[in-house]
């Protein structure tokens, strides 16, 4: 028995020892893996953030643009009168083509709560633009020096939405859904507002059902791309004074030189806004249904000027309210084909010019071409919300504009569109008198002064989509400046005037101007 008992105990001990060794070799229990789950509540592309009830979607695009032509504008501001971008000069300083590489990244998050969906959205832009030439006026030949490229970052949207409210930066509720692009085209299409780069705001939207919504917002126009339009103070060109660097113009020593330096670039005075006082008040009513959409928008814009002179005792004009009204209409799936559509809008402004000649439209510019009676011809235009001089109130500028397009889908892979826009700007009698008093310094006998102008754009494009989310676009547009000056002017011998365009002191014919621009684009959405 002792032998048997010893064998049993030894065997049990051995089994226990082996079992212990095996147990020691076993891995610990792994933690549960949190897999990324699809969130189907808000459409395709959303996923639950691990460990939360928040859904997130990442998207964007990569784009490559090439622009051919010296005066059109697809985001390069080619017809702005700056020394670094002589698109309107039409000479050896003019770039005949421009390029851009861009990446857009947007982040959309949504969380269901007892108060409704809480949404955040951000849209970040990373761009590298063409190298720009800057006139080197210190060089003996007045040549051009080139800098490095234009690497830029942008934040177009960054907002929170909760219970009908929007806090942050996004497009204006005044805008049509297509912004300044009824069917593509350049940034210089007039005829309506455009805050595609965003504007800081506090907005509320009420949903009345059946696709009917109403919105109201407080928007900071100074936060839009390039800020608000001009508010001309013509006292910047007084005969006794000089124009300091604070006006954006070079220092000059006479009224005639100041007038030449400003007028031929469409700058009719010092842009003399005071501090911000009241945000723009905007509202819109919209119907969005299967047939398309209709929208009526209104805006009120406070004109708050600085002083008549450089100090407080010089006095100032009283504030004045500008306003704008816009109608937008989109008709979908028209009989010409599936997916075809027509977009239309019209706008009228009084002291709120940016709602027509929108935020990407240059607020002052010149364009040159040939002449049979003078050294060359020139057309120039200046935009403003209003004009004032010593002892006067603000004389507002009135504008109207229309914009539209038709898009036809030839097949699932090919689509073409025709688009256009036309707008008019009219200065009041007081504003014209103040501006034309300076024009007299450079006018030749028989010349007439009228700062009013019309501007139109007409274009066509074709888009090829060989595979989903990859598109190749060819777009050609024609622009026309219909200016109302006539006769000839003589620029004085001064470093100012047309110096930024390398133009000499000479006789120039005042004439309407035209330009043609082509864009080629490749874009991959993701």
Give yes or no for a contact between 165 and 137, defined as CB atoms under 8 angstroms apart. no
What is residue 245's three-state secondary structure?
Answer: helix
**Alpha-carbon distance 408 to 237, whole Å?**
52
DSSP letter at 115 equals T
**Alpha-carbon distance 69 to 514, whole Å?**
11
Give yes or no for a contact between 188 and 73, defined as CB atoms under 8 angstroms apart. yes
**Alpha-carbon distance 254 to 239, whole Å?**
6
Beta strands 376-382 and 384-388: pairing type?
unpaired
pLDDT at residue 33, as a whole number:
56
Residue 342: give the domain boundaries. 54-525
Contacts 24+ apart (CB under 8 A), 503-506: 503/89, 503/91, 503/368, 503/376, 504/375, 506/374, 506/375, 506/376
Give yes or no for a contact between 451 and 432, defined as CB atoms under 8 angstroms apart. yes
The strand ranges marked E within 427-467 are 453-467
Number of domains in the chain: 1
Contacts of 213 (CB under 8 A, 6+ apart): 205, 206, 207, 285, 286, 288
Q: Which residue has the tokens 């100012």?
A: 496
Mean pLDDT by 10 residues, the chain (526 residues): 43 42 49 75 93 95 89 41 57 83 97 94 92 44 42 93 97 95 92 94 96 97 88 68 30 50 79 94 97 97 95 95 98 92 98 94 88 93 95 97 97 97 97 90 92 96 98 96 94 62 88 92 97
Phi and psi at 161, nearest 5°, equal -120, 135
Neighbours of 111 (CB within 10 A): 17
**Alpha-carbon distance 211 to 348, whole Å?**
26
Vertex 156 angle, CA 78 and 204, to 5° = 130
pLDDT at residue 351, as a whole number:
97
Inside any domain, residue 5: no
pLDDT at residue 241, as a whole number:
30
Note the residue count of the chain.
526
Between helix 255-263 and helix 429-439 the angle, nearest 10°, is 120
- The two structure tokens encoding residue 368: 């040159």
**Alpha-carbon distance 440 to 447, whole Å?**
9
Vertex 174 angle, CA 110 and 329, to 5° = 100
DSSP string, 181-202: -SSS--TT--SB---TT-EEEE
**Alpha-carbon distance 416 to 460, whole Å?**
7
First to last CA, the chain: 82
Give yes or no for a contact between 173 and 206, defined as CB atoms under 8 angstroms apart. no
Inside any domain, residue 37: no
What is residue 482's three-state secondary structure?
Answer: strand
Inside any domain, residue 511: yes
Among residues 268, 273, 269, the alpha carbon closest in space to that of 302 is found at 273
CA 153 to chain centre: 14
pLDDT at residue 141, as a whole number:
36
Inside any domain, residue 394: yes
Inside any domain, residue 14: no
Inside any domain, residue 450: yes
Inside any domain, residue 19: no
**Alpha-carbon distance 221 to 228, whole Å?**
6
Q: Which residue has the tokens 């593509």?
A: 184
**Alpha-carbon distance 356 to 188, whole Å?**
11
Give yes or no for a contact between 457 and 477, defined as CB atoms under 8 angstroms apart. yes
Give yes or no for a contact between 217 and 195, defined as CB atoms under 8 angstroms apart. no
DSSP string, 364-393: EEEEEE--SSSSEEEEEEE-EEEEE-TT--
- The two structure tokens encoding residue 66: 């090439």
Inside any domain, residue 30: no
Which alpha helices (DSSP H) does 231-388 contain, by range? 255-263
CATH number of the CATH domain containing 195: 2.40.160.10
């Amino acid at each position: 028995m002792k032998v048997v008992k010893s064998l049993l105990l030894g065997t049990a001990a051995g089994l226990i020892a082996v079992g212990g060794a095996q147990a020691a070799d076993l891995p610990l229990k792994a933690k549960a893996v949190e897999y990324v789950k699809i969130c189907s509540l808000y459409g395709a592309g959303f996923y639950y953030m691990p460990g939360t009830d928040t859904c997130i979607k990442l998207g964007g695009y990569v784009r490559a643009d090439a622009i051919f032509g010296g005066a059109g504008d697809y985001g390069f501001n080619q017809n702005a009168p700056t020394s670094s971008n002589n698109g309107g000069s039409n000479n050896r300083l003019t770039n005949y083509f421009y390029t851009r590489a861009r990446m857009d990244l947007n982040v959309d998050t949504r969380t269901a709560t007892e108060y409704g969906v809480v949404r955040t959205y951000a849209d970040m832009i990373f761009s590298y633009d063409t190298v720009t030439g800057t006139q080197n006026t210190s060089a003996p030949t007045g040549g051009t020096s080139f800098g490095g490229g234009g690497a830029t970052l942008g934040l177009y949207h960054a907002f929170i939405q909760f219970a009908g409210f929007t806090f942050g930066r996004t497009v204006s509720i005044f805008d049509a859904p297509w912004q300044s692009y009824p069917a593509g085209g350049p940034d210089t299409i007039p005829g309506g507002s455009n805050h595609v780069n965003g504007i800081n705001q506090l907005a509320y939207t009420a949903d009345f059902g059946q696709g009917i919504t109403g919105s109201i917002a407080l928007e900071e126009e100074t936060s839009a791309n390039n800020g608000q339009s001009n508010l001309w103070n013509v006292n910047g060109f007084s005969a006794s004074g000089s124009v300091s660097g604070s006006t954006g113009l070079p220092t000059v020593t006479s009224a005639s030189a100041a007038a030449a330096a400003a007028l031929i670039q469409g700058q009719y005075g010092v842009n003399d806004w005071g501090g911000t006082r009241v945000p723009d008040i905007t509202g819109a009513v919209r119907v969005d249904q299967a047939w398309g959409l209709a929208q009526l928008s209104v805006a009120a814009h406070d004109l708050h000027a600085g002083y008549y002179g450089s100090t407080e005792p010089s006095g100032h004009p009283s504030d004045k309210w500008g306003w704008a009204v816009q109608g937008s209409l989109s008709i979908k799936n028209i009989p010409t084909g599936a997916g075809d559509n027509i977009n239309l809008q019209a706008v009228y402004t009084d002291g709120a010019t940016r709602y027509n000649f929108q935020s990407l439209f240059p607020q002052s510019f010149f364009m040159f071409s040939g002449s049979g009676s003078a050294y060359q011809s020139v057309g120039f235009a200046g935009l403003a919300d209003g004009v004032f001089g010593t002892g006067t109130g603000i004389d507002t500028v009135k504008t109207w504009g229309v914009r539209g397009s038709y898009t036809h889908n030839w097949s699932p892979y090919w689509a073409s569109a025709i688009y256009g826009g036309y707008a008019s700007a009219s200065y009041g009698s007081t504003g014209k008198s103040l501006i034309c008093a300076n024009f007299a310094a450079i006018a030749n006998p028989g010349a007439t002064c009228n700062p009013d102008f019309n501007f139109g754009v007409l274009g066509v494009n074709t888009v090829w989509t060989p595979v989903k989310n990859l598109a190749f676009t060819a777009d050609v547009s024609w622009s026309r400046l219909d200016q109302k000056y006539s006769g000839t002017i003589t620029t004085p011998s001064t470093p100012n005037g047309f110096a930024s365009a390398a133009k000499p002191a000479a006789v120039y014919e005042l004439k309407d101007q035209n330009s043609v621009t082509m864009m080629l684009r490749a874009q991959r959405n993701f």
